[in-house]
Chain A
Amino acid sequence: MDNFTVGVVVFPGSNCDRDVSWALEGCLDIRTKYLWHESSDLSDVDAIVLPGGFSYGDYLRCGAIARFSPLINALYEFVKSGKRVLGICNGFQILTESGFLPGALVANKNLNFICDDVELDIVSSKGGWFNNGDEKQTIKLPIAHGEGRYHCDSDTLKKLVDNELIALRYKNNPNGSSFDIAGITNEKGNVLGLMPHPERACDETIGGTDGLFTLKSLILK
């Protein structure tokens, strides 16, 4: 896996791209490459992270404009080929707007921008993104969002539950998300979107290491 390279997408307004790159390179020794949103050549990356931030200033809706970038167009083939894509916070919003994941993320119930550490139950081991092997486990990760309330209709929720697509649930739902949902995967398991920030929990000295496993699992085949 020496040459395994994770592409970190940079949109105008992304602000967690360097954190993701730091965590992958500095904590896990995984090579990264920044991908400008106008690039559609994904041939030399093996997995992709859509980082947090405010792509295109969150204009219209979070993630709505990013959906039309050349990179996201190219991402459809990339995902179809089975390669892994991780969307964190604004990256999760982009994945739902683009149709890679169902549902939508809307304004927090209490309208606050919430910046906190939260406890999360790992619900499903689909895709191997979490170190739980189907046993329910709890991890602690930071969140930082104003529009992180997961919303979907009841049919979609049933499908998520029945197909074990719910990856993470909040223990104490901070934002009003349906069914306490904090993160979901696609049916194949190669796409994960989550509101919490695993890249901000990769070093004991700055708040724990519960995010390491998820970033490390980008190199899974």
Chain B
Amino acid sequence: MDQFAAKVFVRLRPSVLDPAGEATKSASIKLGAEGIKSLRIGKMIEVKIEGNDENEVREKIDLLCDRLFANTVIEDYEYSLEKL
């Protein structure tokens, strides 16, 4: 069995308003940062996982993303996978 590290990024879909992102954008501007056009907050989930090969691990991560990590009604996800 090989070890893999996945980094999963979960983001609100562009059509879903992100009030926390808006509030953080407002604070960023108060801090003095100029030129911020948009700021949206997502989640990053790190998973260490075993598997025989990359395809098998991708199947597992896809299932996790689809059923648990993201609610695809409101969120999109993407991930990177690295063999350790």
* In the complex, per-residue mask of A67-103: 1 if CB is within 8 Å of any chain B CB, else 0: 0100000000000000000000000000011000011
- The contact of A152 among B23, B69, B73, by CB within 8 Å, is B73
Q: Is the CB of B19 within 8 A of A111?
A: yes
Q: Is the CB of A176 within 8 A of B71?
A: no
Q: Is the CB of B23 within 8 A of A64?
A: no
Q: Is the CB of B69 within 8 A of A106?
A: no
Within 8 Å of chain A (Cβ to Cβ): is B68?
yes
Contacts of B73 in A (CB 8 A): 96, 102-104, 151-153
Within 8 Å of chain B (Cβ to Cβ): is A42?
no
| CA–CA, A151 and B13, complex, Å | 11
* In the complex, per-residue mask of B62-81: 1 if CB is within 8 Å of any chain A CB, else 0: 00000011010110000000
State the interface size on chain B (CB cutoff 8 A).
Answer: 12
- Chain B, 1-59, CB within 8 A of any chain A CB: 12, 15-17, 19-20, 23
| CA–CA, A142 and B20, complex, Å | 25
Residue on A nearest B43 in the bound complex, by CB: A60
| CA–CA, A68 and B67, complex, Å | 10
Within 8 Å of chain B (Cβ to Cβ): is A217?
no
Interface size class of A (residues with CB under 8 A): 20 to 34
| CA–CA, A84 and B12, complex, Å | 32
Contacts of B20 in A (CB 8 A): 107, 111
Separation in Å of the A181 CB from the closest CB of chain B?
Answer: 14
| CA–CA, A60 and B65, complex, Å | 12
Which 8 pairs from chain A and chain B are nearest by CB? A104-B73, A104-B74, A111-B19, A107-B19, A104-B71, A109-B19, A111-B23, A61-B71
Q: What are 19 A-B residue pairs whose CB atoms fall within 8 Å in the complex?
A: A60-B68, A64-B71, A68-B68, A96-B73, A103-B73, A104-B74, A106-B16, A106-B17, A106-B74, A107-B19, A107-B20, A108-B19, A109-B19, A111-B19, A111-B20, A151-B73, A151-B74, A153-B15, A153-B73
